[in-house]
Amino acid sequence: MMHLESYLSGAWRRGAGDGRVFVNPTTGEAIGQLDSTGLDLRAACDFARQAGAALRTMSFAERGASLGGVADALAGKRAEYLEIARINSGNTARDASIDVDGAIGTLKFYARLGKTLGNGYSLIEDGAVQLTKSDQFKARHLWTSRPGVAVCINAFNFPAWGLWEKFAVAFLSGVPVLAKPASATAWLAERMVRDVVAANVLSDGCLSLVCGSADGLLEAVDAFDGILFTGSSETGRMIRSHATVLATGPRVAIEADSVNVAVLGDGAKPGSETFNLLVREAVGALSVKAGQMCTNIRRFLIPAAANSAFIEALAAQIDRIVVGDPTLSEVSMGPLVNESQRTVARTGLAKLMQETKIVRGGDASGKLLGADAERGAFFAPTLLAAEKSDGLRAVHDVEVFGPVATVIPYEGFSQAVSLALKGAGSLVASIWCGDAQEAAKLAVALAPLHGRVLCVDSNVDENHSGHAIVMPQCVHGGPGRAGGGEELGAMRGLRFHMQRTALQGSPAMLEAVASQSAVAAL
Ligand code: NAP
């Protein structure tokens, strides 16, 4: 059986044990194993920190060029990655593209940003302020790279994008990365890192990879490291409260789960443009990546007058989703990532079903094309309906990480807002509304509890990037239960990895520092 290896301290290494098995979720067959027993993660972190010194002597433009080299190395092997995503993640071609092309696109975006920043090594904010009566004493704010390693722990659903979006931002900031992919889908991450190492586009230590358990990883962190975690709130809480993390105080960013909401505007009539656009988006939420996207819509808030029509229209579209073997071109949705995720999804669904009725789907995997329901981790696209908007708890609280969503009726603006905010902090809200004033009012009301708000009207039409799709130009992360992290957002992502320092002195000194820096606002 295949054994994945870790790339630590400049060499590929295998753990001393057999470790965990990862599977093909379409057939249930074992693919390989991964293990990190006995690997020296403390030494690997030290090695990466030392590599940071060399990385910080590279200008932003040079770092950007290296990111471009990484993107090119990956683009050359794209077809192999799509195949791994199909075998190990149960991805359809569209699902795999979101992960793999999303990763390459994000690397290219940050490569271009590096080129734009030019030959500086640090960033300086524009505009000196005079601090005393003398015009010979002023201040500017300087951003420099933190001298640690970025420990990036990823969730199973984006083995490619999760790895490279974090890497791109950290590397451009001048900080080396030690990445830990989720065990269930680490194969793709391991293969990509192998190809990048073989392409020789990064100097040693800028990118390390640990495949297997994270045992000992948090114990190895230091004050100037950063931990960037994506996964469940439960693991996120454990990381925040870990004894070494509390004692040493690295920066911590948590991207956790959320119960994202889509709101159809109050006046929207069945069959109107925004109504139809939301139905179309909803079909994606119940099929793309089998619903395993942290940004996926989990709740639909629909004006009571349009509620039945919305459920009916969506149910008719759900009936057209073909579930089965993702190799087949007719199949629009593959399985969940493995049997244990299906068990967790079933437990969550049982909680939602106490407050809702099933419109489509439910516990059984339904009719499958080219696949065996006994062996694969299939889960039917499941639409739930709440009869009333009052007294719902689980619907606002439980994220079923699969193709499951609930329709909730509402009456009026205030109720729509109060129901939406019951998600207690989410990655994304979307507003489907033909009236710009109403959409603006909703957007501002929802913004404090959301990292991103997408508003779609007939001007935007189908030309939006999607509720669930994360764009590198925009911040990704959400407050409250979503973890409070903030990634990407062009320059904004660099904040996490850099230290802002108020620099006070003469204009000549400030100018000398500025001459080695790129002028930018973060
Ligand atoms: P998870 O079980 O929390 O695992 C996430 C990562 O944490 C994995 O790499 C896992 O490694 C690692 N981990 C587990 N225990 C750890 C420990 N004690 N110390 C350090 N790392 C540890 O989450 P998941 O099941 O992979 O992902 C699903 C969840 O992620 C969903 O709830 C989803 O909403 C959320 N998610 C959020 C985002 C976002 O951007 N906000 C994106 C994607 C997914 P092993 O796999 O080896 O156990």
| pLDDT for residue 134 | 96
Q: Per-residue pLDDT for 154 more than 70?
A: yes
Nearest CA to ligand 1 atom 34: 257
Report whether 236 contacts 161 (CB < 8 A): no
Gap from CA of 22 to ligand 1 centroid (Å)? 15
Gap from CA of 154 to ligand 1 centroid (Å)? 6
Query: What is the pLDDT averaged over residues 85-110?
Result: 98
Q: Per-residue pLDDT for 461 more than 90?
A: no
Q: Which long-range contacts (CB under 8 A, 24 or more apart) does 470-473 make?
A: 470/102, 470/161, 470/165, 470/295, 472/105, 472/106, 472/109, 472/110, 472/165, 472/168, 473/109
| pLDDT for residue 522 | 81
Nearest CA to ligand 1 atom 39: 255
Pocket test for ligand 1, best of 156, 221, 474 (most atoms within 8 A of CB): 156
Query: What is the pLDDT averaged over residues 197-212?
Result: 96
Number of the ligand 1 atom closest to the C-alpha atom of 20: 47
Q: For 368-413, how does the pLDDT look when each residue is reduced to its tens digit (9 = 90+)?
A: 999 999 999 999 999 999 999 999 999 999 999 999 999 999 999 9
Measured at the CA of 426, the angle between CA 424 and CA 427, to 5 degrees, comes to 170
Catalytic residue (one of 294, 399, 433, 438): 294
Query: What is the pLDDT averaged over residues 155-173?
Result: 98
Query: What is the pLDDT averaged over residues 119-133?
Result: 95
Q: Per-residue pLDDT for 421 more than 80?
A: yes
Pocket test for ligand 1, best of 22, 227, 235 (most atoms within 8 A of CB): 235
Number of the ligand 1 atom closest to the C-alpha atom of 238: 18
Pocket test for ligand 1, best of 88, 230, 292, 400 (most atoms within 8 A of CB): 230
Query: What is the pLDDT averaged over residues 332-347?
Result: 96
Query: What is the pLDDT averaged over residues 76-101?
Result: 98
Indicate if 455 belongs to the active site.
Answer: no
| pLDDT for residue 440 | 97
| pLDDT for residue 365 | 66
Indicate if 294 belongs to the active site.
Answer: yes
Gap from CA of 230 to ligand 1 centroid (Å)? 6
Q: Which residues line ligand 1 (CB under 6 A)?
A: 153-158, 180, 182-184, 213-214, 217-218, 230-232, 235, 238-239, 255-257, 294, 399, 401, 427
Q: For 15-59, how does the pLDDT look when each residue is reduced to its tens digit (9 = 90+)?
A: 999 899 999 999 999 999 999 999 999 999 999 999 999 999 999
Nearest CA to ligand 1 atom 9: 182
Q: Enter the tokens of residue 353.
A: 């079903």
Gap from CA of 183 to ligand 1 centroid (Å)? 9
Number of the ligand 1 atom closest to the C-alpha atom of 212: 47
Q: Per-residue pLDDT for 260 more than 90?
A: yes
Q: Per-residue pLDDT for 266 more than 80?
A: yes
Nearest CA to ligand 1 atom 19: 214
Q: For 58-82, how does the pLDDT look when each residue is reduced to its tens digit (9 = 90+)?
A: 999 999 999 999 999 999 999 999 9
Express as a percent the part of the chain with pLDDT over 90. Answer: 95
| pLDDT for residue 364 | 67
Q: Per-residue pLDDT for 507 more than 70?
A: yes
Catalytic residue (one of 5, 190, 255, 487): 255
Pocket test for ligand 1, best of 4, 23, 152, 157 (most atoms within 8 A of CB): 157
| pLDDT for residue 327 | 95
| DSSP E strand stretches across 413-456 | 426-432, 450-456
Express as a percent the part of the chain with pLDDT over 70. Answer: 99
Gap from CA of 268 to ligand 1 centroid (Å)? 38
Spatial separation of the C-alpha atoms in residues 223 and 352, rounded to whole Å = 42
| DSSP E strand stretches across 283-353 | 297-303, 323-324
Nearest CA to ligand 1 atom 11: 182
Gap from CA of 153 to ligand 1 centroid (Å)? 7
The band of 122, judged by pLDDT with boundaries at 50, 70 and 90, is very high
Nearest CA to ligand 1 atom 17: 214
Q: Per-residue pLDDT for 366 more than 80?
A: no
Gap from CA of 140 to ligand 1 centroid (Å)? 39
Number of the ligand 1 atom closest to the C-alpha atom of 257: 34
Q: Which long-range contacts (CB under 8 A, 24 or more apart) does 132-136 make?
A: 135/507, 136/506, 136/507
Q: How many CB atoms lie within 10 A of CB 104?
A: 21
Q: pTM to 2 decimals?
A: 0.96
Nearest CA to ligand 1 atom 8: 182
| pLDDT for residue 521 | 81
> Could you give the C-alpha distances from 224 to 59, 63, 251, in angstroms and in order?
21, 21, 7
Q: Which of 76, 162, 68 is nearest to 107 (CA)?
A: 68
Gap from CA of 257 to ligand 1 centroid (Å)? 9
Number of the ligand 1 atom closest to the C-alpha atom of 156: 26
| pLDDT for residue 318 | 97
Report whether 365 contacts 374 (CB < 8 A): no
Gap from CA of 354 to ligand 1 centroid (Å)? 27
**Measured distance between the N- and C-terminal CA atoms of the chain, rounded to whole angstroms:** 47
Average pLDDT in the chain: 96
Measured at the CA of 408, the angle between CA 405 and CA 414, to 5 degrees, comes to 130
| pLDDT for residue 363 | 67
